[in-house]
Amino acid sequence: MRWQVGRYALWLVGVPMLCLLLFLLADRWWALPNPERVRSVLILAQDRTPLRAFADSDGVWRYPVTLDEVSPLYVQALLAYEDRWFYQHPGINPLALLRAGWQWLRGGRVISGGSTLTMQVARILEPHQRNMGGKLWQMFRALQLEWHYSKAEILTFYLNLAPFGGPIEGVQTASFAWLHKPALALSHAEAALLAVLPQAPSRLRPDRHPELAQRYRDKVLQRMATQGIWTQAVVDDALTEPVMRSRFQQPLVAPLFAERMKAHAVERKVARLQTTLDTNAQWVVENVVRTRVESLPDKASIGVLVVENKTGYVRAYAGSANFHSVERFGHVDMVQAVRSPGSTLKPFLYGMALDDGLVHSASLLSDVPVKLTDYAPQNFVRHFSGAVSVAQALQQSLNIPAVDMLQRLTPTGFVARLRNGGVVITFPEQAEPNLSVILGGAGTTLEDLVRGFSAFARAGMSVKPRFLADEPLVERRLLSAGAAWIIQAILRDIPAPEGSVNSAGIAWKTGTSYGFRDAWAVGVSDAYTVGVWTGRPDGTPLPGSIGAAAAGPILFDVFRALPKQAVANMRHRPAEVTSTDICWPLGESAATTAPEHCHVRQQAWILEGRVPPTLPHLQHYSWSAGLQTYWVNPQTGLRVTAACTAPQRETCQVAQWPLELQPWLANTVLEQIRLPVFDASCPSGSEYQGGAQLAMRHLDDSTRLFLPKARAGQPATGVTVDLRAEGGVGQHVWLVNGALAGVDATQHGLRYTFTRAGDYDLTVFDTAGSVDKVVIRVISPP
């Protein structure tokens, strides 16, 4: 008896142990297919809204989800309809298999399969033939799944792998494809529909057979009421909801951004990638782009990038105006494209000059014609303003003062500081930085420009745009906090484009590249930095398309539509920035400048209490502003020197403006700086003959010069005249249309040739500040 009990005990223990051993050996020999294999890739917004999906090599679309991203209603309907005992069985439900076998024997056909959800996952992972051998293999794979994974993991595999018709796999894909909503937002009726679709995905596709799909859905709903999982009232209400015929559409939000992010997903070997993109911000940006592109020329596109200042997160990204448009080059990502930045680099230039102590916001600059060896920069508007402040030069985007300032910082140093601050400037192969870089003679991207402009809202620290929340925060010092604040304060005072209002205090700058190939507008608010590019991606010019008119309105539309944020005010002035009055032409503090030397009073923002004087002229030191000392006879008030016989001399000083600016000065200012003529006691000689007023000879406003006719086969010639003036003191300096024509050191005249027809402004001034001006006309031959 004991022997028999022992034998039975041996069987009860040994047989299961042997089976377990055999299972472990089989599990090791026939390893499970990887249920977490990465196939298609899904790019998500910050709130997990799908932006764009990329099918796998077989054309299958799958939007991976986790269990908590699916509505509990769907899980209830799925388990009630497919596998009520899912959480109790070990992967195989013997009772369900016996029931299915009995139904097959009685009916002669398969009525129910008896498969558990685990077995269905096994069949999805490794399809098999529908015979006894295939069923046994499926059961073995189901046991393996239960051995290696938890119930939650197996259920998640089903949620992601179940077929829903055509190339659609997974409940999230099906929910967006057939219901146009995430699986977390399903109603009772929708949950029941998606629970039944995998039973016959091809026959029940809502886009082809909505009536049949609704009948099967209703069966699921009735079962939910019968089992008491949902109340009859809930089910009755769900039954009234029709199954609508819907067409499968892939999400296509920020398509070029998503395409860029796909590379990150592949690199990380993940099936889905959650980005920093804000769905609402992206929607408003795309809406603005769709609206504005209609007013642009054919084949023109738009690029927009929105970065959150505090975090550096990219909140909106429009790489092109219309992704589907071949004519507008919709496949070209203009956020990453290297283009000429036009004048958009000027704020950084003046910010660096502030940091170097070269200028303050009201420093006197010269906007006059200049020629630097073989380079003669011109203003965009083709005229000159004369005396301007740093703020005016930046707000009006004047080219001449910017080129002059770049000479002082040096192009190489400027580009190096930009790169160190995160703004990468590129040049053609073997080309070196030169003065044209400040006018757009180089390349950069919209992304880098936005990065640079973010420094104006972040105390001088630029932030690298972050596409993923787990990317590190990368900051670079571009400007000091004080210089950044002064520049953004200047940029805030630029008038908004026509039809827009700058109620948010946006600091913004535009740019237009040579030949109208690129139009830019970059702006900074408390919360965001926004960059806009317009033009043709193929580089074809768009005559008349300038930054202020083409990109500016888009910039303000975007700012107006972006979600509002409560953030720190970038207009909070740093302690190192103070305000003071300064005087032109010397550029120094009004408090330390004698009233008679303060010809023009300006209010300036200064850094660290520094008030740098007006910069000297780089090429002609004698043309620079400064105090000029002279002596007068106190009895006559006329000028004298040591050679004069006046019994007494009195020392006087006058604040002189840079000579190159004098043709643009008002007559009242010219009177202030004009030196007295020499006293009669001074010896005769040109240096002391000051009694004659400076005046041009032979030329006046009625002068007309005629160009000679060109002879056949000969190049055209011009008309040559002698520019001569009488009177004045010292050398005579001649300007033609504001550009230096030459210096007549002996007052014997200067020969000049006019080669083109038109009106010419002629100006002559002497070392005492006397000026004479006329306008002559050169006429083409009849």
Q: Determine if the peptide bond prior to 347 is cis (ω within 30°).
A: no
Helix (H, G, I), strand (E, B) or coil at 216: helix
Helix (H, G, I), strand (E, B) or coil at 739: strand
User: CB of 485 within 8 A of CB of 458?
Assistant: no
- Phi, psi for residue 570 in degrees, rounded to 5: -70, -10
Q: CA 172 to CA 62: how far, in whole Å?
A: 8
User: CB of 464 within 8 A of CB of 372?
Assistant: no
Q: CA 73 to CA 229: how far, in whole Å?
A: 10
User: CB of 445 within 8 A of CB of 335?
Assistant: yes
**One-letter amino acid of 327:** E
Asked about 513 being catalytic, the answer comes back as no
Give the count of alpha carbons within 13 A of 61, CB side only.
21
Q: CA 561 to CA 257: how far, in whole Å?
A: 20
The residue from 71, 343, 624, 770 that is catalytic is: 343
User: CB of 145 within 8 A of CB of 91?
Assistant: yes
Q: CA 317 to CA 284: how far, in whole Å?
A: 11
Strands (E) in 525-598, as ranges, are 528-535, 577-584
User: CB of 762 within 8 A of CB of 736?
Assistant: yes
Q: CA 105 to CA 103: how far, in whole Å?
A: 6
The residue from 71, 82, 308, 624 that is catalytic is: 82
Cβ neighbours of residue 343 closer than 8 Å, sequence gap 6 or more: 380, 397, 399, 402, 438, 439, 440, 509, 510, 511, 512, 547
Closest CA to 459 of 336, 331, 571: 571
Alpha-carbon dihedral angle through residues 147, 152, 154, 155, given to the nearest 10 degrees: 150
User: Across the beta sheet with 518-524, what order do the strands follow?
Assistant: 314-318, 301-308, 528-535, 518-524, 507-512
Q: CA 225 to CA 757: how far, in whole Å?
A: 95
User: CB of 706 within 8 A of CB of 719?
Assistant: yes
Q: With both helix axes pointing from N to C terminus, report the angle between 346-355 and 411-420 in degrees, rounded to the nearest 10.
A: 100
Asked about 82 being catalytic, the answer comes back as yes
User: CB of 573 within 8 A of CB of 546?
Assistant: no
Q: With both helix axes pointing from N to C terminus, report the angle between 346-355 and 481-492 in degrees, rounded to the nearest 10.
A: 140
Q: CA 278 to CA 530: how far, in whole Å?
A: 14
Catalytic residues: 82, 343
